[in-house]
């Protein structure tokens, strides 16, 4: 809002619009009026407004209908109601719809200016929160991600390799990363999101330092992977698709790890562990804790053959 917010005053009484315009324009605000909800919708459809002051009781399209429409079509616009009938219920309904504040009618210039100032501050605060969310991953990661995007920008079919690199850099693919990739590769966010949700090797949730993949395929099932899975879940206190609170481990269930002869099987990162029993699986997990603590790992990296 470098040039100041653009405000729309909606009322079925022209005199109210004119007096609000006079007060706000004198303070340098950019203000326009709309006589009634219908005219307001026509103006708002064109976009460009930051703040709407609306009466509630209006013929045809009333204030609550206008607010509901705005919340659905343009939730970024701040809303203040101006009402001559501020009953508790009306205010409560409007507050539940997410209005910022209300101005009782008739209003004095100082009340109107006071509420406007608060509403403008509210909009500014929300915008800066949104900006922080956009940069919720460290700037160094953002720079690296932008470098990867720039490298692939002109290569057709580069979405998957870019997402793979993005996942390596950030650790997972939250909406903010998907958005950045979509923008950088000139694709729609829906397209990027579709690819991320389609391939199981992409994750939208943060993963732990070690990713445990438990095979739930038929061969592993027959050989008792269910008991292994239960024990691992109990030990880590997480379910499939979750990450431990300390971010050490994530747990995934997969269809077949391609090592059916070693069933039941699980992988931790790139290591395969076969012929598992519940107790053996816990030993494997403990070996990663031991490695992290700097002690000699008992099993980390051991092949199934070595374990036997
Ligand atoms: S079914 Fe488990 S590795 Fe194939």
Residues 6 or more apart whose CB falls under 8 angstroms from that of 14 comprise: 33, 35
Give the pLDDT confidence of 128-180 residue by residue, as tens digits: 555 554 445 666 677 788 899 999 998 888 999 999 988 887 778 888 889 88
> Measured from the CA of 215, which atom of ligand 1 is nearest?
2
Residues 6 or more apart whose CB falls under 8 angstroms from that of 8 comprise: 31, 32, 33, 34, 40, 43, 44, 49, 51, 52, 53
Angle of helix 14-26 relative to helix 109-134, nearest 10 degrees, comes to 70
Residues 6 or more apart whose CB falls under 8 angstroms from that of 2 comprise: none
Pocket of ligand 1 (CB under 6 A): 215, 217-220, 256-260, 263, 265
Please report where in the chains the tokens 């490298």 appear, as a residue.
Answer: 151
Structural contact between residues 67 and 78, judged by C-beta atoms closer than 8 angstroms: no
Q: Cα 93 to chain center, whole Å?
A: 27
pLDDT at residue 8 is higher than 90: yes
Q: How far is the CA of 138 from the centre of ligand 1 (A)?
A: 38
Give the pLDDT confidence of 230-282 residue by residue, as tens digits: 999 999 999 887 888 888 898 888 878 888 999 999 999 888 999 999 999 99
Q: How many residues does the chain have?
A: 308
Query: How far from each other are the two terminal CA atoms of the chain, in whole angstroms?
Result: 68
Q: What share of the chain is helix, strand, coil (3-state, %, to 5)?
A: 50, 15, 35
Q: How far is the CA of 272 from the centre of ligand 1 (A)?
A: 11
Give the Cα separation of 51 and 49 in Å (integer). Answer: 6
Pocket test of ligand 1: the residue of 265, 274, 275, 276 to mutate, having most ligand atoms within 8 Å of its CB, is 265
Residues 6 or more apart whose CB falls under 8 angstroms from that of 144 comprise: 169
Q: Where is pLDDT greater, at 2 or 188?
A: 188
Give the Cα separation of 21 and 18 in Å (integer). Answer: 5
Residue owning the nearest CA to atom 1 of ligand 1: 217
Given pLDDT bands bounded at 50, 70 and 90, which one contains residue 63? confident
The alpha carbons of the chain give a radius of gyration, in whole angstroms, of 29
Pocket test of ligand 1: the residue of 229, 256, 261, 273 to mutate, having most ligand atoms within 8 Å of its CB, is 256
Q: How far is the CA of 126 from the centre of ligand 1 (A)?
A: 50
Q: How far is the CA of 262 from the centre of ligand 1 (A)?
A: 8
- Mean pLDDT (the chain) is 83
One-character DSSP codes across 27-74? TT-EEEEEESHHHHHHHHHT---SEEEEES--SSS-HHHHHHHHHHH-
pLDDT at residue 92 is higher than 90: no
Q: How far is the CA of 124 from the centre of ligand 1 (A)?
A: 54
**Tokens in use for 297?**
């790992």
- At 305 the pLDDT is 39
Structural contact between residues 29 and 116, judged by C-beta atoms closer than 8 angstroms: yes
> Measured from the CA of 256, which atom of ligand 1 is nearest?
4
- At 85 the pLDDT is 65
Pocket test of ligand 1: the residue of 260, 261, 272, 274 to mutate, having most ligand atoms within 8 Å of its CB, is 260
Q: How far is the CA of 160 from the centre of ligand 1 (A)?
A: 26
Given pLDDT bands bounded at 50, 70 and 90, which one contains residue 302? very low
- At 86 the pLDDT is 59
Give the Cα separation of 78 and 97 in Å (integer). Answer: 11
Given pLDDT bands bounded at 50, 70 and 90, which one contains residue 307? very low
The mean pLDDT value for 45-64 works out to: 87
> Measured from the CA of 217, which atom of ligand 1 is nearest?
1
Pocket test of ligand 1: the residue of 254, 263, 273 to mutate, having most ligand atoms within 8 Å of its CB, is 263
Q: How far is the CA of 209 from the centre of ligand 1 (A)?
A: 24
In 10 A of CB 261, how many CB atoms? 10
């Amino acid at each position: 809002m470098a040039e100041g917010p653009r405000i729309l005053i909606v009322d079925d009484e022209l005199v109210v619009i004119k007096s609000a315009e006079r007060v706000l324009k004198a303070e340098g605000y950019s203000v326009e009026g709309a006589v009634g909800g219908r005219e307001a919708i026509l103006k708002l459809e064109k976009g460009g407004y930051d703040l709407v002051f609306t009466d509630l009781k209006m013929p045809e399209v009333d204030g609550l209908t206008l607010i509901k429409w705005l919340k659905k079509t343009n939730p970024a616009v701040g809303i203040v109601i101006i009402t001559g009938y501020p009953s508790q219920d009306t205010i409560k309904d409007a507050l539940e719809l997410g209005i910022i504040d209300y101005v009782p009618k008739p209003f004095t210039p100082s009340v109107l200016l006071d509420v406007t100032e608060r509403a403008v501050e509210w909009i500014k605060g929300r915008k800066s929160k949104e900006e922080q969310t956009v940069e919720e991953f460290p700037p160094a990661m953002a720079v690296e991600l932008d470098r990867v995007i720039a490298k692939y920008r002109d290569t057709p079919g580069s979405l998957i390799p870019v997402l793979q690199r993005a996942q390596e850099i950030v650790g997972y693919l939250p909406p903010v990363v998907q958005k950045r990739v979509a923008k950088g590769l000139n694709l729609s966010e829906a397209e990027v999101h579709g690819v991320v949700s389609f391939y199981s090797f992409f994750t939208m949730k943060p993963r732990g330092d070690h990713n445990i993949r438990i095979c739930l395929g038929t061969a592993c099932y027959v050989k008792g992977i269910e008991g292994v899975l239960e024990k691992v879940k109990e030990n880590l206190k997480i379910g499939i698709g979750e990450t431990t609170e300390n971010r050490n481990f994530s747990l995934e269930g997969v269809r077949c790890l391609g090592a059916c002869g070693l069933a039941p099987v699980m992988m931790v990162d790139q290591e395969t562990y076969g012929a598992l029993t519940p107790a053996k699986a816990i030993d494997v997990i403990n070996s990663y804790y031991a490695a992290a603590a700097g002690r000699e790992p008992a099993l980390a990296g051991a092949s199934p053959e070595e374990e036997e």
